[in-house]
Structure 1
Amino acid sequence: MTMDTTLDHIAINGGRDVTGDIHISGSKNAGLALMAATLLAPGTTTIEGIPPLSDVNNMCRILRCLGADVSHVDDTLNIDTTQAKSHPIPEELGGRLRASILILGPLVARFGYAKLSLPGGCTIGKRPVEEHIRGIEKLGASVNLQDGYIEAHASTLRGAPVHLQTPSVTGTMSVLMAGCLARGVTRIQNAAREPEVVDLANFLISLGADISGMGTDQLTVVGRDAVLSPGQYKVMEDRIEAGTFLILGAICGNPLTVHRCKAEYHMVLIKQLRAVGALIDVSGNSIVVRKAEKPLPVDIKTGPYPAFPTDLQPQFMVLLSLACGQSQVVETIFESRFGHCSGLQAMGADVQINGQTAVVSGVEKLSAALVSGSDLRAAASLVLAAIAANGVSVVSGMRYVKRGYYDLEIKLEQIGVQLYRLPAIEKQQVPTQKQL
């Protein structure tokens, strides 16, 4: 898998408070599912609020490969799937994007056939596709996994009970979409409850689907013989981007106001931020965060929604690295999600890893360093650490950040972060504070 490495490094002059307003972009994770779901509705569907992130651009390429007409202007997508056909998706497309698996259900449901390469994405664990395969098989498809490709056939999908072994978000989404065109009733048990799943369900309902149970672990889909109808929809806000900025506010907000941020999506995070000592005021869909002057240690354990989100664990660890005491972080979702710890250690953090548990002993301050992010959230956490650290740090791996954070550098500059984008960096080329 190749990625654009242009301006892959960023130099940050840290150790200063941030203040001002942040406006959260539309959700990448929900948006990718909505894009896949347009395959169920021949015609032109308009989705508003989806920023042109690299993952979104990759999904656009996949839809075009299938014959869809896709235009993306600003944050509005127009997708016409009238002429779409089920073509094999090559590795150079599917291998770039974990969410490519989301087209499996819609393709089999509408065309009776799908062939795509095993999906790519961040290297943070196995991320198995078994739930997708098992779910589509329960609805009557035959699936073959060979030579790095998934191939599925079905003359007709039929509704059935589908019990997910784990509450997989994308697994739930796949079965939900396929069930819309399956004959009869599909009941998904142990379904993911994430707001992104609810957003997909609401989108499908707006296109004519019959779905109930949103927000619970029991989803019911009454299938139909006809395809869905195209429509217009605005994607929900990006929950993980919002959480990242809430954590930044707890580290050095003086104050930081995060707009388009529903507190109901962040109840566990807000509880933990307050336990650390951050001051948080909620006003409608805006949240004001003031930094914890002397952060307190807390223990967190990641889990499916509404538990603490795994996608915010690396960022929260930055805050814990500055706490006055010892914290424990238990990761239950991915087996390789401590890739950011080496970067934090290079900046002076005291982090000890034992299996799926990290013990974080807080230090008084972090120091500038050259660090590298190995995946999307790891790189984002190191950006937060660089903002907190004294001196000029250089973070590489910004290509990963661009997969999930739209205009991050611009938003950071707007709240007072001093930064400089770099196409390449050697140790002797690190900018000085005067250069920044």
Structure 2
Amino acid sequence: MSEIAIQVEHLSKQFRIGANSFQKTFRETVSDAMLAPARRLRSALRGQGTQAATKEFWALRDVSFDVNQGEVVGIIGHNGAGKSTLLKVLSRITEPTAGSAMIRGRVGTLLEVGTGFHPDLTGRENMYLNGAILGMSRAEINRKFDEIVAFAEVEQFIDTMVKHYSSGMYLRLAFAVAAHLEPEILIVDEVLAVGDAQFQKKCLGKMGEVAQNGRTVLFVSHNMAAIRSLCQRVIWLNKGTVLKDGPSASIVNEYLMETVTSSSSRVDLSEATRQYDFGKRLKITELTFNNGEPILHGQPLNVSFNYEAYSTVYGVSFGFGLSSLEGTRLLSIDSDLYSSRYTIHGGNKGQAHVIIDTLQLQPGIYLLDVGSRSGDGNALDYLPGCAQIEILPGPTTPASMSRLDYAGSVRLEGRWQWTQDATKELD
């Protein structure tokens, strides 16, 4: 039996929300003391009490779970579900109101940009400080020093005070220290969103390496692709309690299904935020799949574009794409590849339609990109990742397909032949 690295039993954390419920600075405390008599006088004249109203808020309520040594566990949930509070309790940053959390092993924590860094120390000094906090000897830190600096890409700034770092530099160094100083348990909150795409990929690769080396990882993220690829198991928090706990693929799928609204087959784009000058000359106001009916695997797909033109545009084409949650494009449909382009006069509203005879993307959740361009190739409107689209099993979808979610999203039927020594099993 694997040794338990993290043991959480009936953990609860309560906060008091109100005027006096948060910690104050020394300056605020002195100021409040000086102004208190005047406030009490005003309250008496109004006939009100002097005690500010507070209310209790349970960020965590009776949370219990175990994490075995070497296990990589994702923590997911909507904003306010209690994910960050849980990690702060496990990292000994805040005390629980009730229950207990036992940690067996040296812990490396990255809960926000620059956790544990002192702004008036240089990058070099902070590396040794963080290492000491983790229980590392100076010799151990020296051995990892060059590797950490190279990973963080801050060589020329390593002797600069970190208060002068950009947020990206701060993050790179903080993550590099937390991941390279070989803690037995690595706790990482949703900090990778601060970095650029290249650095996020680099961090995820390092976390995968940490996991393969048999160390324990707790990872909070809204990036379900990262959770699915890194974690063997997922704990889903909802309103401070454990809603689900199980294999990452099934829990992530359930979580994503909940995030899809019932109107996902009809996407209102009229008020969507656009970058640059997209939507100024022509705007796609709505995209409708199957007249608002569910989208089914193996069945025809009918897509309608509603648009408004604010000036005359020539050679107009429309298109949409469906991508995996990792951002890999799986399906692209563009009108200019298969039909003529059109002139649309300013002030006109209209529709464009496209039909796909058989939709071969397997059941699941996909990201939608929508766009339109003019005859000179310039984008008229572009909305990347503007909605999540759900494809449901159709009447011809094999029941076994639900077990193949890890094997790609486009499933095509082929002509198979077996040698005579293979025996067909009964259905």
- Give your verdict on TM over 0.5: no
Bigger helix fraction: 1
Greater RCO structure (CA 8 Å; 6+ sep): 1
Instruction: Compute the TM-score of the two structures, normalised by the length of structure 2.
Output: 0.25
Instruction: Compute the TM-score of the two structures, normalised by the length of structure 1.
Output: 0.25
Bigger strand fraction: 2
Say which one has the larger Rg: 2
